[in-house]
């Protein structure tokens, strides 16, 4: 299905949902001020529906916005990765399934997009992504496509490096971190009412922004996403200093997959391994 056709279907569904009063707001995409890329759009009335667009620049994961509208009914445009974060938020009891209407879009991958710049090829993470069809939806746009086998080539490459080289690599990366915490603000899995980095008593990290403190921040945040990260890459997309955060997240995704045979967000009923405790549970390969 052409993207233009998908856009028309999104608009028609949004009109139907708003006019019938089924939802108060449709969260989709509209044209940004560069005239060529997309930005999130909140549509409250049928008059504004023509603002909605859908094209290869609609890279943002909109699921995080559902947390601002917990008690309201909302329709949301969701690609496969985004749909996994809706599942995550339902499973973790942050949102209620009945209040969310998911307009799922089949996805063949998206390019890297920043303001006024559109990449030619698909993002690396899209080239490695297993899902082409949203894992949950109320209305699907596009023909369901086969899942592909995810690869972890980049992670394996890093795993093969010497520990001193790994450390040097990450120290170099984290030395650039300005600790704006945009990675957290854009992560659909980061919703703690008080983040450990902001806590004063005890002060886990504090306000000092040395490379060591930055390492602490980025590593702990990654661990908090173990078995929960759905690989939407919003952390890396938003990072103003290009830290390859997905490499950390994907390492954890790979390990959780190997050890617990679990992938986050595929099923709203299945909790992350570290969010459950079963007496008879044991790691794969460990008696």
Partner 1 sequence: MSQVISKEDLIKWLESLLKDRTVVAPVAADGVTMFRPIARPEDVVYKPGNATLGPKECLFPLSHTIFTVERNDNGVSIVPDTMDREIVVFGLRPCDAQGFAIFDLPMLGDPADPYYKDRREKTTLIGIACNIAPPGCFCSSTGGGPHDATNLDVMLTEVSEGYIVQAVTEKGKELLQGVPLKESAAVPPPPPDMPLVPTDDIVAAMRRSFKDQYWSRLADRCTHCNICSYVCPTCYCFDIRDYQQDGKVHRVRSWESCQAPGFTKLAGGHDPRPEKGAKMRQRFAHKLLYFPEEFKGVLGCTGCGRCVRLCPVNIDIREIASDVQKIGGG
> CA dist 17 to 3, 9, 73, 164, 214, Å?
21, 12, 10, 55, 44
Residue closer to partner 1 by CB (options 75, 136) is 75
CB burial of residue 274 (10 Å; 0-12, 13-18, 19+):
middle
Q: Is 221 in the site for partner 1 (CB under 8 A)?
A: no
Q: Is 185 in the site for partner 1 (CB under 8 A)?
A: yes
Q: Is the dihedral of CA 15, 87, 223, 227 positive or negative?
A: negative
**Candidate segments 14-22, 140-148, 156-164, 182-190, binder of partner 1 by CB under 8 A:** 182-190
Residue closer to partner 1 by CB (options 96, 180) is 180
C-alpha–C-alpha distance, residues 65 and 60, integer Å: 11
Burial 182-191 (b: 16+ CB within 10 A, else e): bbbebbbbbe
Q: Is 70 in the site for partner 1 (CB under 8 A)?
A: no
**Candidate segments 59-67, 118-126, 137-145, 276-284, binder of partner 1 by CB under 8 A:** 59-67
C-alpha–C-alpha distance, residues 147 and 149, integer Å: 7
Q: Is 157 in the site for partner 1 (CB under 8 A)?
A: no
Question: Measured from the CB of residue 83, what is the shortest distance to partner 1 in angstroms?
Answer: 20
Residue closer to partner 1 by CB (options 12, 207) is 207
Tokens of residue 36, six digits: 């060529």
Of 235, 221, 188, nearest to 88 by C-alpha is 188
Interacting positions 238-257 with partner 1 (CB under 8 A): 238, 240-243
Residue closer to partner 1 by CB (options 37, 87) is 37
Residue closer to partner 1 by CB (options 110, 136) is 110
Question: Measured from the CB of residue 95, what is the shortest distance to partner 1 in angstroms?
Answer: 16
Question: Measured from the CB of residue 214, what is the shortest distance to partner 1 in angstroms?
Answer: 10
Q: Is 47 in the site for partner 1 (CB under 8 A)?
A: no
Q: Is 210 in the site for partner 1 (CB under 8 A)?
A: yes
Residue closer to partner 1 by CB (options 147, 180) is 180
Q: Is 96 in the site for partner 1 (CB under 8 A)?
A: no
Neighbours of 287 (CB within 10 A): 4
- When binding is defined by CB under 8 A, the residue of 72, 209, 275, 283 that contacts partner 1 is 209
**Candidate segments 72-80, 190-198, 218-226, 255-263, binder of partner 1 by CB under 8 A:** 190-198
The residue ranges that bind partner 1 (CB under 8 A) are 32-34, 37, 39-42, 60, 64-65, 68, 114-116, 172-173, 176, 178-182, 185-186, 194-195, 198, 203, 206-210, 234, 237-238, 240-243
């Amino acid at each position: 299905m052409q993207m233009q056709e998908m856009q028309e279907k999104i608009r028609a569904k949004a009109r139907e949902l708003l006019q019938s009063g089924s939802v108060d707001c449709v969260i989709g995409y509209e044209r940004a001020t560069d005239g060529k890329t997309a930005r999130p759009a909140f549509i409250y009335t049928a008059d504004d529906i023509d603002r909605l667009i859908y094209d290869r620049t609609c890279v943002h994961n909109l699921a995080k916005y559902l947390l601002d509208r917990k008690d309201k009914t909302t329709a949301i445009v969701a690609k496969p990765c985004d749909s996994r974060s809706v599942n995550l938020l339902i499973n973790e009891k942050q949102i209620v399934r009945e209040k969310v209407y998911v307009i799922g879009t089949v996805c063949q991958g998206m390019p890297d997009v920043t303001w006024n710049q559109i990449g030619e090829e698909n993002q690396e993470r899209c080239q490695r992504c297993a899902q082409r069809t949203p894992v949950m939806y109320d209305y699907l746009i596009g023909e369901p496509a086969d899942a592909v086998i995810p690869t972890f080539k980049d992670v394996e490459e890093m795993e093969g490096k010497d520990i001193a080289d790994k450390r040097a690599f990450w120290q170099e990366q984290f030395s650039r971190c300005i600790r704006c915490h945009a990675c957290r603000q854009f992560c659909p899995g980061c919703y703690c009412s008080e983040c450990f980095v902001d806590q004063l008593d005890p002060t886990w990290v504090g306000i000092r922004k040395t490379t060591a403190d930055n390492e602490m921040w980025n590593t702990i945040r990654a661990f908090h996403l173990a078995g929960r990260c759905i690989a939407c890459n919003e952390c890396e997309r938003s990072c103003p200093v290009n830290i390859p955060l997905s490499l950390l997240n994907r390492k954890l995704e790979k390990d959780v997959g190997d050890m617990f045979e679990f992938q986050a967000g595929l099923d709203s009923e299945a909790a992350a391994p570290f969010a459950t405790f079963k007496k008879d549970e044991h790691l794969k390969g460990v008696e």
